[in-house]
Amino acid sequence: MEIQGVVDQIVYKNDDNGYVVLKLKTKDDLIAAVGYVPFITEGQRIKIEGEWVIHPTFGQQVKIKSCEEILPSNIEGIERYLSSGLIPGIGPVTAKNIVKKFGEDSLDIIEMNPGKLKEVDGIGEKKAFAISEAFKEQRELKNVMVFLQTYGVSTAYGIKIFKKYGQNTINTVRENPYKLCEDISGIGFKTADRIARNLGMPLNSIERAKAGIKYILYSFTANGHTYLPMKNLLFESKRLLNIPEEIIKEAVSISAASKDIVIEGEEYSSTNVYLSSFYYAELGVARRLIEISLSGTEKNLYGIDEEINSYEKENNIEFADEQRQAITAGVKEGLCIITGGPGTGKTTIIKCMIRIFEKMGLTVVLGAPTGRAAKRITETTGREAKTIHRLLEMEFISSDDSPSFVRDEGNPIEADVIIIDEASMIDILLMNSLLKALAPGAKLILVGDVDQLPSVGPGNVLRDMIESKVITTVRLRHIYRQADESLITVNAHRINDGEMPFLNDRDKDFFFIQKNANHEIVDEILDLIKNRLPFFKDGFDPIKDMQILSPTRKGEIGIYNLNKRIQEILNPPSKDKAERDLKDFIFREGDKVMQIKNNYNLEWTKINGSGEASGTGVFNGDIGYIKEIDNENKRLLVVFDDDRQVYYDFINLDELELAYAITIHKSQGSEFKVVLIPISYGPPMLMTRNLIYTAVTRAKDLVVLVGLKQALYVMINNNTITERFSNLKQRIINFVSLIK
């Protein structure tokens, strides 16, 4: 059955999957229709194919099987269509102006002669051609979306798929839906598998098994592993795929032959399985670390002690023996690690080393894994520091998951010495890229706190390097900064040593508030943010100065609930603030937000400060504020802490989340004036010493713990470090044994 009409009313619309309930006004009647119809708006003329069904509650309606848009031909219909919001860049005012100028020819002008749009007020050349491209893309996109919606793909992911494959989308998906797992960020194996099954692909197909194996390996890298033991992979594969082990083993062999994965080991049952990129990264890091370690400076070492003495005199300080040892090792060795907790003098050591290197005529560059960490070391040293990605000069690429760098073996970083702060945050892939970009003979000094949580990304790089006992490492143990005036520093070290912190000294900066129930913890944190801390001492800004760090995402003290509650009191709805309603929360102008995945393609411009005026790449953990939400052009503007501003299309908003509260894991490399930490019982993996230690060390001026003192005691006494599958330590040892 085929019916034509105008969409009179959209009764219900699910933006996530495109399901709608609508009233269709035909020539003779007003009928109800239901189905998956993305990008439908009131006023559209459509042609549907379907069948009459009887709903037990709502009665007779048409179940839509397919839907085709009929572009309007009269002036009123054209204006309604253009005002619908379907085409980015055209809102009600612009639509009215276009129709006023071109009448019934408006749509033809947009599609065939976009240059004429410049005759309309408010439309320049760039916007005119953008509108035309969006119009043509929308028409193509609808056909694709109808196809994808049939297989349960949401509107947001459908758009991402279309942007990747364009006109080849339908053929690509039909041929091998499992490509979606590799090519489209956010689409996992289960979604691709559902599409494949609907398309009739057999359960035991080799393509399915190969995709499942890669999915498992990728999912475990998200937990910090660089590989999986074969026995673990076979177990997880059988559980996921529900197919015979023989097929899985065949898929493993085929994947290894095509170099998608690497199998390492002699006995099959005891082998390790890597995604190729992680295997070669781990191998490359181990080899380059040994090469750099062997390239220590033998010249110009005379007089280091005198230079240290001179620096002490000029700055009215006195280095301890371990600090002098760190400076000497940094100057002497090709590769050196300096690790220590807060207040142990790491920044002062860096400043002294820079002074000595420059007197030796060497060029020094500073780097850090994140923008916030780079900004902090810039402020503390007075020298510009760049993110490692900026040091490597990341290029704009088509894939959003694999960065490409200008600096590598053939085009190394132009520096004699590279000093990297917050080195515990570096994962195996980034370390490999950094090491490849070091010039022959260049020094690398890694500074960080190995007792903090390991990197969010795969690998256990800093700890593996230290535990290999091959690389020169100086561990700073004594507190030299703020010991007399700050309990934050003192207590951080007490926690790291397995001791309870000193609490609630009236004149200090470290407090514990006992609350027994989770809802009481939340209420207390809200009260502190809204009513008390803004007036404590010199006062703190609730949004910019305060940061809630939670061990968990879910539950009453998890960040999802905390962010909703905090948003209600710090940035409530207002007629003066535009907002965007998402599936689980609302973005509002003024909100504090965080980037939750690396996006190497996002373009940014700098509004203040030094460094490049523009570039690409926004990274997991970057924090900023929503400056503007443009519902007409379907984008929002975020200004990050390091003064970069970035426009996000609405389809990419899944890369952002509210950041009034963030997980402790996400806080690495950052520093906040005030840190508030809910303390309660949770899963054992979240009740660890290094977790609470990391949280406390993020605070600059004030720490407030709220919750159960017994739970804090349990965390401090649990020194368990979650095992990561990583072979870097052993590879370093093996390379040294080969040299010997």
pLDDT tens digits for 324-368?
999 999 999 999 999 999 889 999 999 999 999 999 999 999 999
Which amino acid is located at 369 in the chain?
P
- Which pLDDT score, from 0 to 100, does residue 252 have? 95
More confident: 396 or 276: 276
Other C-beta atoms closer than 10 Å to the C-beta of 554 total 11
Query: How far is Cα 330 from Cα 328, in angstroms, rounded to an integer?
Result: 5
Report the pLDDT averaged over residues 591-611: 84
Q: What is the DSSP letter of 685?
A: G
Report the pLDDT averaged over residues 60-81: 80
Cβ proximity of 419 and 447 under 8 Å: yes
β partners of residue 603? 616
- Which pLDDT score, from 0 to 100, does residue 187 have? 81
Length of the chain in terms of residues written: 740
Report the pLDDT averaged over residues 639-659: 89
Query: How far is Cα 116 from Cα 98, in angstroms, rounded to an integer?
Result: 10
- Which pLDDT score, from 0 to 100, does residue 623 have? 93
Query: How far is Cα 714 from Cα 548, in angstroms, rounded to an integer?
Result: 21
Task: Report the sign of the C-alpha dihedral through residues 606, 607, 611, 613, in that order.
Answer: positive
- Which pLDDT score, from 0 to 100, does residue 740 have? 61
- Mean pLDDT estimate for the chain: 88
The pair of structure tokens assigned to 240 is 């996921």
Cβ proximity of 694 and 703 under 8 Å: no
Q: Residue 256: which H helix or E strand, with range?
A: helix 245-257
CA dihedral 597, 138, 87, 109 (to 10 degrees): 140
pLDDT grade, residue 165 (50/70/90)? confident
Report the pLDDT averaged over residues 435-463: 93
Instruction: State the DSSP string of 663-689.
Output: ETGGGTT--EEEEEEEE----GGGS-H
Phi, psi of 439 (to 5 degrees): -70, 150
At 230, is the secondary structure helix, strand, or coil? Answer: helix
At 551, is the secondary structure helix, strand, or coil? Answer: coil
Those residues whose C-beta lies under 8 Å from the C-beta of residue 298, and which sit 6 or more positions away, are none
User: ∠ CA(240), CA(243), CA(246), 5° rounding?
Assistant: 120
The pair of structure tokens assigned to 450 is 């190995």
Residue 398 confidence (pLDDT) above 60: no
pLDDT tens digits for 507-521?
789 999 999 999 999
pLDDT grade, residue 429 (50/70/90)? very high
Which amino acid is located at 232 in the chain?
N
- What's the number of CA atoms in the CB half-sphere (13 Å) around residue 127? 14
Residue 137 confidence (pLDDT) above 90: no
More confident: 697 or 609: 697
Q: What is the CA radius of gyration of the chain?
A: 29
- Which pLDDT score, from 0 to 100, does residue 16 have? 59
Burial class (CB in 10 A: 0-12, 13-18, 19+), 269: exposed
Cβ proximity of 688 and 720 under 8 Å: yes
- What's the number of CA atoms in the CB half-sphere (13 Å) around residue 291? 13
The pair of structure tokens assigned to 16 is 């996530």
Query: How far is Cα 485 from Cα 265, in angstroms, rounded to an integer?
Result: 54
Query: How far is Cα 269 from Cα 487, in angstroms, rounded to an integer?
Result: 51
Other C-beta atoms closer than 10 Å to the C-beta of 602 total 23
Residue 138 confidence (pLDDT) above 80: no
343: nearest Cα among 677, 690, 697: 697
β partners of residue 46? 5, 69
- Which pLDDT score, from 0 to 100, does residue 611 have? 67
Query: How far is Cα 517 from Cα 531, in angstroms, rounded to an integer?
Result: 21
- Which pLDDT score, from 0 to 100, does residue 157 have? 77
Q: Residue 287: which H helix or E strand, with range?
A: helix 276-293
State what percent of residues in the chain have pLDDT above 90: 56
Which amino acid is located at 310 in the chain?
S
Q: What is the DSSP letter of 507?
A: T
- Which pLDDT score, from 0 to 100, does residue 609 have? 63
Cβ proximity of 182 and 191 under 8 Å: no
Query: How far is Cα 485 from Cα 192, in angstroms, rounded to an integer?
Result: 57
Query: How far is Cα 285 from Cα 292, in angstroms, rounded to an integer?
Result: 10
Query: How far is Cα 390 from Cα 405, in angstroms, rounded to an integer?
Result: 9
The pair of structure tokens assigned to 325 is 């040892």
Residue 618 confidence (pLDDT) above 70: yes
The pair of structure tokens assigned to 105 is 């020819």
pLDDT tens digits for 249-291?
999 999 999 999 999 987 776 899 999 999 999 999 999 999 9
Cβ proximity of 601 and 619 under 8 Å: no
Phi, psi of 504 (to 5 degrees): 65, 35
pLDDT grade, residue 397 (50/70/90)? low
Which amino acid is located at 340 in the chain?
G
Cβ proximity of 192 and 180 under 8 Å: yes
- Which pLDDT score, from 0 to 100, does residue 301 have? 57
Residue 460 confidence (pLDDT) above 70: yes
387: nearest Cα among 27, 699, 641, 101: 641
Parallel, antiparallel, or unpaired for β 59-70 and 30-36? parallel
pTM of the model: 0.79
Residue recorded with tokens 């301890």: 320
- Which pLDDT score, from 0 to 100, does residue 657 have? 95
Query: How far is Cα 12 from Cα 21, in angstroms, rounded to an integer?
Result: 5
Cβ proximity of 630 and 637 under 8 Å: yes
Q: Calculate helix-pair angle for 276-293, 728-739, nearest 10 degrees.
A: 50
Q: What is the DSSP letter of 545?
A: T
- Which pLDDT score, from 0 to 100, does residue 158 have? 79
Q: Residue 101: which H helix or E strand, with range?
A: helix 92-102
The mean-pLDDT minimum among 44-53, 453-462, 492-501 falls in: 44-53
- Which pLDDT score, from 0 to 100, does residue 68 have? 76
β partners of residue 605? 614, 645
pLDDT tens digits for 461-500?
999 999 999 999 999 988 875 555 689 999 999 999 999 9
